[in-house]
Amino acid sequence: MDLIVSVLSDSKYYLESLYNRASQELGDKRSDKGEKLAELFDLLFEYIKDSKFERLKEPSAYDYSCKKLYPEQNTSQKMQRVVLRGYKHNDKVYHTIVDMGS
């Protein structure tokens, strides 16, 4: 039981520190937010240890650089969402879409 508590405590600390670091970096007006979000998601997905979970190497149908806007991203000529690399879980492909607001 102590081992479980220790692992959960470490996980909580790791995720909180990731969140705090990302919040601080995303608040910096000079930083490239898309790049920081991609880095955050990569760190988060590295942390997931599940044999059914696989991070995709390629962006599949989406543009990895996020320079090309897709219909669901291009509303009123402002980027509404950033699409990052997807992942696979139980052989089904999902995409990581981050809502950037309007």
Helix (H) or strand (E) holding 26: helix 2-27
Query: Which of 4-13, 21-30, 51-60, 75-84 is modeled with the greatest confidence?
Result: 21-30
Give the integer Cα–Cα distance in Å for 83 and 97: 5
Average pLDDT of 65-93? 57
Residue-range domain boundaries for the chain: 2-99
Give the integer Cα–Cα distance in Å for 102 and 75: 9
Measuring CA to CA, which residue among 76, 25, 85, 93 is closest to residue 57?
Answer: 85
Q: How far apart are the first and last CA of the chain?
A: 46
Average pLDDT of 50-74? 53
pLDDT digits (tens, 9 = 90+) for 4-46: 666 566 666 777 777 777 777 666 666 566 666 667 766 776 6
